Amino acid sequence: MILYGLKACDTCRKARKALPGADFVDVREDGMTDDVRRAALDRFGTELLNTRSTTWRGLSDAERAAPPEELLAAHPALMKRPLIVAGDDMYLGWTPQVRQALGAD
């Protein structure tokens, strides 16, 4: 299992604590492979973009109009967190439904 997020994110910290065996990838420092980003976009679409983030608010209207894949490649912190890859399954966020599906409740 791999958690993609930011090490300074409180939600990612909670997920890491609840899933101690999972590998963690800080998307700001380590990045995310194009394959994982595309698969996440295919699965979650624009829901993958955190449009309430400080990073989003700092973008110009022209930058916000870019395709989501380009935005996430240029600004990894725009991704909603955590993105959890468990085998063939992907989960977004640390909601009660995600925790239950991963047995971390």
Residues annotated as catalytic (active site), given as ranges: 9
Please state, in angstroms and as integers, the Cα–Cα distance from residue 44 to each residue in 38, 48, 55, 67, 101, following that order: 10, 6, 20, 14, 17
Q: Decide if 103 contacts 96 (C-beta within 8 A).
A: no
Q: Decide if 82 contacts 94 (C-beta within 8 A).
A: yes
Q: d(Cα 73, Cα 64) in Å, to the nearest integer?
A: 13
